[in-house]
Amino acid sequence: MTDDKSEERYEIELPLKLHFETKQPVAIKDIATSLTALDKLSKRLPAMISHLSGVEVDGYQLNVSSIESGSLIETLGLIVFLSTPDQQQALRDYLENSAMGKPIKYTLVSLLVVALMNDAYSILTKFTKDDAPNIQGNNNTVINITADSIGVSPEELRSAISQVNAGGRKELVRASLDVAKPIANHENAALFAGDVESPVSIPSEVFEEVPFDADLSAHERDFPYEDVLLQIRELNRDSKEVGWKGIVPNVVGDKKLKIVFEDGVDPGLATTVPEVRADVVITYKNDINKSVLVPKYVTVTRVYPLRGSGTATEQPGNSSENS
């Protein structure tokens, strides 16, 4: 705290304790990685605390109190800064007089960190498309127990998590992976919020599903669709590889995409009518920072002859765009 009243800030220190349960040795460099990642993860905590308490938190500082060996225990202090003494008192009242009738000051931050990590692992496995029933199940369990422990509804806690995780998901996932670095790929390892008796944890069966070596960079995924309507918006009679754009309305709405034709596919019909029915493969960009796949371009693998009165929309065909 400075002497300049215009810069004066008020603070409250909240304990943060993580218990890493493992029977294997832990490398010092992995502990350093974990602590650095905790600092990155902690920058989301002021917004979460503000959301849950209704008190505006201006900033934070994370300090290490102690590191214990055996089963690794990281004990830290999260100092949150507030602008006025009234805000300081309001947050103190929230921490000391929760809806549960007991102080939550000593458990709040540890619970929120584990909840954030669980949510990050859920985001990661949805991105990688890995089968992860234990991650999804534990995510729900942690949300419910944490919400009950701090006196809010599960929906309110989910809202707070979603709010702080709306941006920078890649950074969130990387930080959550690195926090657990000391026990990554350890057999029967677990992480507890606080002490080993804590009901809020990331158990070994969850860590077994976490793809610690996952590539977090954006990548492409292909989805085939049969006999769908393809509307031509731009064409090039001299090339089937450049100069073509169109939309696949029943699959991607009115988004105009680049069109390419697979080798052996004659685009001739598409140069004479505004729309055709075709088998296509739509390539999507899978970006962990976005919650949806983004369509990038269309590859035409077959063009169907005109039907009925010479239009492409007479018969729906056997479309698989909704499969």
CB-count exposure of residue 252 (10 Å: 0-12, 13-18, 19+): middle
Most confident of the ranges 8-12, 132-136, 305-309: 132-136
Q: Cα separation of 316 and 188, whole Å? A: 54
- State pLDDT tens for residues 160-170: 999 998 878 99
Q: In what order do the strands lie in the sheet with 10-21?
A: 59-68, 73-82, 10-21, 190-193, 201-202
At residue 9, the pLDDT reads: 81
**Mean pLDDT of the residues in the chain:** 89
Cα 70 to the chain's mean position, in Å? 32
Task: Express each pLDDT in 5-25 by its tens digit.
Answer: 446 789 999 999 999 999 999
Sign, CA torsion 109/114/118/123: positive
How is the chain split into domains, by residue range? 5-207, 219-303
Q: Which residues contact 112 (CB under 8 A, 6 or more apart)?
A: 45, 48, 49, 146
Find the helix or strand (DSSP H, E) in which 13 lies: strand 10-21
For residue 91 the two structure tokens come to 């947050």
Answer whether residue 322 shows pLDDT above 80.
no
Over range 302-310, report the average pLDDT. Answer: 77
Judged against a pLDDT cut of 90, whether residue 60 lies above it is answered with yes
For residue 153, is pLDDT > 60?
yes
- 316 or 87, higher pLDDT: 87
Ramachandran category for residue 54: left, alpha or beta (phi over 0 → left; psi -120 to 50 → alpha):
left
pLDDT at 76 over 80: yes
Residue 48 has pLDDT above 50, yes or no: yes
Which of the four pLDDT bands, split at 50, 70 and 90, describes residue 102? confident
| pLDDT above 90 as % of the chain | 75
How much is the pLDDT for 241? Answer: 84
294-303 vs 257-261, strand pairing mode: parallel
Residue 156 pLDDT greater than 50, yes or no = yes
Question: Beta 219-234 vs 201-202: how paired, if at all?
Answer: unpaired
Angle between helices 133-150 and 108-128 (to 10 degrees): 160
Query: Tens of pLDDT along 219-240?
Result: 888 999 999 999 999 999 888 8
pLDDT band at 246 (very low <50, low <70, confident <90, very high): very high
Contact status, residue 92 vs residue 12, Cβ threshold 8 Å: yes
Rounded to the nearest 5 degrees, what angle is found at the Cα of 239, between the Cα atoms of 234 and 241? 80
Nearest to 59 by CA among 34, 88, 82: 82
